Structure 1
Amino acid sequence: MQLYLLALNPTDSVTEGFLPAALRLGLAVTVLTDRPDAHRAVAADLEGEGGVGVEVLKCDVRDFRAVIARISAHRAPDAVFSNSDHLQTQTALAADYFGLPAKSWRAALRTKDKAEMRRRLAAAGADAVRSVELSPGQDPAAVSAAPGMPYPCVVKPREGVASEDVVLVEGPQELVRRCEEIQARRPGAALVVEEYLAGELYTLETLGDGRVRHVLGGFRTELSPPPYFVEERLTYVPVHPEPVVDQVLSQLDALGVGFGACHTEFVVHEGRARIIEVNYRAIGDQCDLLLTQLLDIPLFEHILRTHLGESLPPDLGVRTDVAARLDYPCADRAGILASGPGAADLEYGDVKLTYRPLRGIGERHELHRTNRDFLGVVRATGTDQELVDRAVAEFLAAQRWEITP
């Protein structure tokens, strides 16, 4: 069977998750990408481990017409799939063109476009968040003085990801300044200004086949100090309170979300769950790699099987007697990473801990206030949260990352 996987830059989710899973399923894999050289290096590594059938073709994957043309001129597809935030609508349109199982392109667009998501939720009576959209180049001064503009509020790119250029502002002058800064960096981007939603930040991870939807638990997320929103730590939550899950799923239903993997971020305040954003794909930053190990399920295979038209089992056999945590050591300034720990796989009693560096020694980076500042990722799993937390704390206390100008 032929799988087309659409991708931009290589990610851990693709290289360590979906590609190996596709090969285990015996699929012929064609990666369509605008960055073929990087993906060919990944494919070569997989084949060196015994994998076969990974093909890489150059394609303007941001244009669904180019994707359809590339597939149509090649081999007949059995599935068209992507785990990229930026490519869900294009993937859904291409899959639908060939009559294949797919997410609704309308739902993919609603979740990617944060202004449209707010409008859709409000129209459905699911949740109303005060927000204003700024078109590319629009003067933010007109918005900052608008009647009813809530402060504090959050400025974000309408179609952004990974907390890039997401910032909390306290008043009109700061709003104008922050918008102008983002517009200078992203001259073609529309922005959204919306009320700040107070509460504890969580995620909900779901997997559906269009008929049944499984909840895989979620994470409690700890952020950097304001005004930025960098995710620094995630602690696994096996089961959220049922009323909270019901509220989030109701909002996802209003958006039309229910096929394949979905990663939803939301806050809970006084029992009320309100969506921050919906990423209509599997959770990233190695959380998906942790989940497949933690829950003891073939998560990546399940996701791919839904796109091949297979039904999910009524019970995935997900473990709930588990505990886990991920920490992301972050750079606190621009510069060259002069030293840092290497990859490690350790055991602290019953706790299994993995560390993977995300930045090479000798690399220079600016400070982005996003996950691009991550120096590495610590993943720890076990059955007791206190022991997991202690293992991570001990590991981090023994490490040093040196950044020089």
Structure 2
Amino acid sequence: MSSRRWVAAVPAAPAAWPVEDAAEWPAAIVRTIRPRVLLLAPPSSYRSQAYCRAAEGLGMDILVASQGEYSLMPELAGGLHLDFADAANAIERIAVAHRTAPLSALVPTDDLTVELASLAGAVLGLPHNPPQAARAARRKDLGRAALAAAGLPVPAFRRVDLFAALDLQLQDLSYPCVIKPLTLSGSRGVIRANDRQQLHDAWQRVQKILADQPIPEERQFALVEDYLPGAEVAVEGLISNGEVQVLAIFDKPDPLQGPFFEETYYVTPSRLPEASIMRVVQRMQEACRAYGLREGPVHAEFRVHDGEAWMLEMAARTIGGDCARVLERVIGRPLEELVLECAMGGQPALSPPQLAAGVLMIPIPGAGLLRRVEGVAEARRVPLVEDVVIAIGEGYAMQPLPEGSSYLGFIFAAGPSAEDVEAALRQAHACLKVVRVPAWQVEVG
């Protein structure tokens, strides 16, 4: 797409105008400048480079705001350095950047930056989700409460104190149940328990997983709720001025019954009955309203059982990891382009899906140091497979769920049907052999 979409042909600013305070520039001059988008991204985000490529293709300038001053990515190293834990200071620095050169939109890439983007958007007067809505989308307990208040179907749930007596908090609890952190993503720390002893063991495990969380409340508390049976799907959408546009619905064909809930296969289009798909879309729209979300990407996960769609969780961001690549094969454009256009107030045009597509988030088979992954070339030769990406290098200390927070890599495939795509992903995965060695811990002193 040409940058002419965004740039008006009017004269440049005379040198006398105060470039140090761009907020005071005449409106006609501001319109001559390429839109400038602030991308709020953790330094470990998979998404930063994809957004930078998308912005260049759309004729936009992008300023990356992240933590830390050292990065191999030029956009991070030369961007705006913030302390995400100090929201007030971060917002002030964003405001200074806005006064220097006006920002047109704010785009958070990950859960960590969603709340900050909403707070900064409110201060700068840019399109944003209400801060309380952004918070509900990041915190599972607040999201559950919002759904319940709106009369939407939710499992029985309670917030528990991980450092208080267990028995007093779990009276009248039914089993099986699931304990999960208030935050975190990718099913990290999510554990099913079929009885009180299993819950006690999971309770202690979640305590340890949350020990390094920076926010005290999110270290201390967790959510316990009824286990929901049924087929699981993920929904990717965009919200513009409160209107939800569903981009894709992914089946998760592996049964996710616990005790852990590692996500592996995502395949679209969904093979659920049409009535179930319509129910998922309806509940997605209702949930966005219940949370109060009005702008930007949204990623939600549902269990479908007995004619009802039960939301597991919803986040005000795109699909995680490198999985967004699979959407380009379905909608014909990079997901990041759509998000940026939506952030600018546009209504992205979409073509009807031409292909089925899918991704396998390659699971980590066990703890240890990665030596190598064999069979990658063979996996790439499987018909319909488009790419096999090993995301971690030799010597990486691997940790599976529920403690782990990363995947071994990704396999992408596209083809004429969801069944063909799923079969190709499974065949390619079977080609891989992960070689690992034990990771020994040495105590000194």
- What TM-score comes out, normalization by structure 2 length? 0.80
Greater mean alpha carbon deviation, residues 164-173 or residues 365-374: 365-374
* Pair 1:95-2:124 in alignment: no
Aligned equivalent of 1:299, options 320, 323, 335: 335
Q: Structure 1 residue 254: deviation in Å? A: 1.6
Unaligned runs of 5+ in 1: 47-53
The corresponding residue for 1:69 is 92
1:116-138 C-alpha deviation (Å, 9 max, x unpaired): 11111111111242111124633
1:164-203 C-alpha deviation (Å, 9 max, x unpaired): 1110011223223321332234243120111111111101
Aligned equivalent of 1:213, options 244, 249, 252: 244
Aligned equivalent of 1:18, options 45, 51, 73: 51
The corresponding residue for 1:311 is 346
**Contact 1:378-1:392 within 8 A present in 2 as well:** yes
The CA distance in 2 between the partners of 1:205 and 1:82, in whole Å, is 16
The corresponding residue for 1:174 is 198
Larger radius of gyration: 2
CA 1:181–1:12: 2 relative to 1, 3 Å: closer
The CA distance in 1 between the partners of 2:114 and 2:248, in whole Å, is 23
Aligned equivalent of 2:186, options 162, 166, 170: 162
The corresponding residue for 1:269 is 305
- 1:320 match: secondary structure: coil
Amino acid in structure 1 at the alignment position of 2:317: R
Amino acid in structure 2 at the alignment position of 1:123: A
The corresponding residue for 2:264 is 232
The CA distance in 1 between the partners of 2:431 and 2:206, in whole Å, is 38
The CA distance in 1 between the partners of 2:408 and 2:209, in whole Å, is 24
1:303-340 C-alpha deviation (Å, 9 max, x unpaired): 112222x2214xx3333342112123322221121121
**Contact 2:45-2:109 within 8 A present in 1 as well:** no
CA 1:372–1:361: 2 relative to 1, 3 Å: same
Greater mean alpha carbon deviation, residues 55-64 or residues 160-169: 55-64
Q: Structure 1 residue 234: deviation in Å? A: 1.3
Unaligned runs of 5+ in 2: 1-34, 439-445
* Pair 1:320-2:377 in alignment: no
The corresponding residue for 1:282 is 318
The corresponding residue for 1:255 is 291
- 2:180 match: secondary structure: strand
**Contact 1:6-1:81 within 8 A present in 2 as well:** yes
Computed over aligned residues only, the root mean square deviation of the Cα atoms, in angstroms, reads 2.4
**Contact 1:223-1:229 within 8 A present in 2 as well:** no
**Contact 1:32-1:61 within 8 A present in 2 as well:** no
The corresponding residue for 1:50 is none
Q: Structure 1 residue 206: deviation in Å? A: 0.9
The corresponding residue for 1:81 is 107
Aligned residues: 388
Amino acid in structure 1 at the alignment position of 2:121: A
* Pair 1:4-2:38 in alignment: yes
The CA distance in 2 between the partners of 1:37 and 1:353, in whole Å, is 33
Q: Structure 1 residue 67: deviation in Å? A: 1.9
The CA distance in 2 between the partners of 1:43 and 1:293, in whole Å, is 28
- What TM-score comes out, normalization by structure 1 length? 0.88
* Pair 1:33-2:66 in alignment: yes
The corresponding residue for 1:109 is 135
**Contact 1:340-1:399 within 8 A present in 2 as well:** yes
Aligned equivalent of 1:132, options 130, 142, 158: 158
**Contact 1:230-1:370 within 8 A present in 2 as well:** no
**Contact 1:342-1:356 within 8 A present in 2 as well:** no
CA 1:88–1:384: 2 relative to 1, 3 Å: same
The CA distance in 1 between the partners of 2:186 and 2:282, in whole Å, is 26
**Contact 2:250-2:268 within 8 A present in 1 as well:** yes
The corresponding residue for 1:334 is 367
- 2:433 match: secondary structure: coil
Q: Structure 1 residue 19: deviation in Å? A: 1.6
**Contact 1:353-1:392 within 8 A present in 2 as well:** no
Greater mean alpha carbon deviation, residues 340-349 or residues 282-291: 340-349
Q: Structure 1 residue 370: deviation in Å? A: 5.9
**Contact 2:133-2:292 within 8 A present in 1 as well:** yes
Task: Report percent identity of matched pairs.
Answer: 25
Q: Structure 1 residue 282: deviation in Å? A: 0.6
The CA distance in 2 between the partners of 1:370 and 1:328, in whole Å, is 16
CA 1:141–1:9: 2 relative to 1, 3 Å: farther
Greater mean alpha carbon deviation, residues 367-376 or residues 92-101: 367-376
The CA distance in 2 between the partners of 1:231 and 1:371, in whole Å, is 12
The CA distance in 1 between the partners of 2:374 and 2:45, in whole Å, is 21
Greater mean alpha carbon deviation, residues 151-160 or residues 212-221: 212-221
Q: Structure 1 residue 64: deviation in Å? A: 2.5
The CA distance in 1 between the partners of 2:166 and 2:103, in whole Å, is 46
